[in-house]
Amino acid sequence: MSASELMLARLQRPESRFRMEVALRYSSPRINARKLSLSYQQIFSGCSSLIKSAPDPVQAVLNLRDFHERNILRIIDLYKNRGDAIECGQQMADLRKVIAIQTFCLATAEHEGNYCLALGGSVAKGDHTFLTDIDTVVIAAREEDREAALKVQNLMSRILRSIHIEGDDVMPWYFSGLPIESLEIKFPSVKAEGMTDSFLRSKWLSDGSFYRFLIDIQIADTKGNVKAADYAKKLNGYRGRAVYAQPEAMLELCEESFLKTLSVLDGIQELRMKKERTSEQEKKVIHDIKNEDLRPFYYALYAARAQHKITLSSPWDILSQMQAIGIISSDEALSASKALNFFLEIRHLIGFVLPEAKDSKHMDKARIKNISSHLKISERELIKMIEISGRTLREISKNIFSRLKGRKSSDVASINASIGPNDAGVL
């Protein structure tokens, strides 16, 4: 086999081989990593050196994949050693941030222009899991840079897939490589009470995920002559006008999404309770941790962040801030934190234990059986814990929405002044 054929074979190595290695690593009692916890800068420096040492782009991609896989195994050892789901999620988020930035650098090599890479979602929140995709968007500095930005976005997606990482397609579709000024025209700040046209209101509601993503997004890297600080300044200005200056609109947007989700969940529960359902239907009706438990709760957090200008991204930090402001009690903050930790632990286990799993959010009978075994509890007990934790987050979410609607704008301004500025910019 020639060197080029060997390189191609390595590049096309099936993901299943590494997934089996992950499961074996988790089940092994040994800790093989020399250093378990690394800082973001340590991860970045190690990855950057490896990419720079590559003689060609193909080898650079192979180095990137190998670096990613070695660090996944290190994080597994860290989790086995400490059992800290939050620490594991943050380490995973830091690793994926670095991978995204290095992928951006590789993708920009042949595309001249001025544009930036921005990151959001779970890598910004610090609750990232092994099977979770990366939310990346490439934003042009000007309209004439848009074509290059779109090409980089597409190439990034291809590179990530080649190293067995999924890139989210939803946000790139929303952003479309547009400069920030064009994004503001496409997604303007809207006052909820002025939304009387049914079509425009429907579009506004469907664009809710964009506005929520906008709260978390941060500039990670740039290409060209425009500085990261310049992009961040424009982005913060747009975020302020579209989100923080319109907290009532964001509250209504998030609450309506929350209520729609509850309505869907009621229908799912009704289907699950029917005795006449077939075995095939039963296989399809599974529990979705992300959409049934986490996403409804995050709707409430986003509403609170918009009203109180909370730019912290970690849900645990947000809970602490909300407690300090008085939106939730100390008991609610503790209960919500425990529920989030529990669901994050399950999502880690799905990725580490089940080599055939395609995501870390769905729970069916097979997964419940495997995860309960690893947690050393009964299947019934695991199901009960999932139900209680989900119900806890939904009840606290209802309380948050109720309290936010009960607060006057003057009260909010007074509280915000007492806690001081809390700005977000460049990663």
Taking a C-beta distance cutoff of 8 angstroms, is the pair 252, 329 a contact?
no
Round to the nearest angstrom and report the end-to-end CA distance of the chain. 44
Of the three residues 200, 227, 245, the one that is the final residue of a domain is 245
CA distance 321 to 81: 30
Q: What is the pLDDT of residues 8-26, one digit of tens each?
A: 556 666 788 999 999 999 9
Residue 1 covered by a domain: no
Q: What is the pLDDT of residues 329-338, one digit of tens each?
A: 999 999 999 9
Residue 3 has pLDDT above 90, yes or no: no
Residue 362 covered by a domain: yes
Q: Do 142 and 289 sit in the same domain of this protein? A: no
Could you tell me which residues are beta bridge partners of residue 329? Answer: none
DSSP readout, 376-408?
TS-HHHHHHHHHHHHHHHHHHHHHHHHHHHTS-
Q: Which residues, at least 6 apart from 349, have a Cβ–Cβ distance to it below 8 Å?
A: 371, 374, 375
Residue 325 covered by a domain: yes
Nearest to 36 by CA among 86, 85, 72: 72
- For residue 342, the enclosing domain spans 248-419
Residue 329 covered by a domain: yes
Q: How much is the mean pLDDT over the chain? A: 89
Provide the number of structural domains found in the chain. 2
Chain Cα centroid distance, residue 179? 23
Residue 114 covered by a domain: yes
Beta strands per DSSP E along 90-235: 115-120, 135-140, 218-223
pLDDT category at 184 given cuts 50, 70, 90 is: very high
Residue 410 covered by a domain: yes
Residue 424 covered by a domain: no
Residue 114 has pLDDT above 90, yes or no: yes
Span 3-7, average pLDDT: 51
Q: Do 217 and 255 sit in the same domain of this protein? A: no
Q: Which residues, at least 6 apart from 10, have a Cβ–Cβ distance to it below 8 Å?
A: 62
What are the tokens at 185? 């025209």
Taking a C-beta distance cutoff of 8 angstroms, is the pair 392, 343 a contact?
no
Q: Do 128 and 96 sit in the same domain of this protein? A: yes
Taking a C-beta distance cutoff of 8 angstroms, is the pair 41, 47 a contact?
no
Beta strands per DSSP E along 5-151: 115-120, 135-140
CATH code, domain carrying 48: 3.30.460.10
Residue 269 has pLDDT above 80, yes or no: no
Residue 268 has pLDDT above 80, yes or no: no
CATH code, domain carrying 256: 1.20.120
Nearest to 254 by CA among 316, 293, 292, 307: 307
Chain Cα centroid distance, residue 317? 16
Q: Do 218 and 76 sit in the same domain of this protein? A: yes
Of the three residues 189, 215, 245, the one that is the final residue of a domain is 245
What are the tokens at 425? 């910019």
Q: Do 166 and 295 sit in the same domain of this protein? A: no
Q: Do 218 and 264 sit in the same domain of this protein? A: no
Q: Do 101 and 204 sit in the same domain of this protein? A: yes
Whole-model pTM: value is 0.90
Q: What is the pLDDT of residues 343-393, one digit of tens each?
A: 999 999 999 999 999 999 999 999 999 999 999 999 999 999 999 999 999
Q: Do 239 and 280 sit in the same domain of this protein? A: no
CA distance 193 to 191: 6
Q: Do 235 and 159 sit in the same domain of this protein? A: yes
Taking a C-beta distance cutoff of 8 angstroms, is the pair 116, 231 a contact?
yes
What per-residue confidence (pLDDT) applies to 273? 60
Q: Do 175 and 84 sit in the same domain of this protein? A: yes
DSSP readout, 192-229?
GGG---HHHHHHHHHTHHHHHHHHH-EEEEEESSS-HH
Q: Do 220 and 84 sit in the same domain of this protein? A: yes
Of the three residues 197, 217, 245, the one that is the final residue of a domain is 245
What per-residue confidence (pLDDT) applies to 148? 97
Is the dihedral angle over the CA atoms 138, 139, 143, 145 positive or is it negative?
A: negative
DSSP readout, 260-277?
HHHHHHHHHHHHHH-TT-
CA distance 206 to 201: 9
Q: Do 25 and 95 sit in the same domain of this protein? A: yes
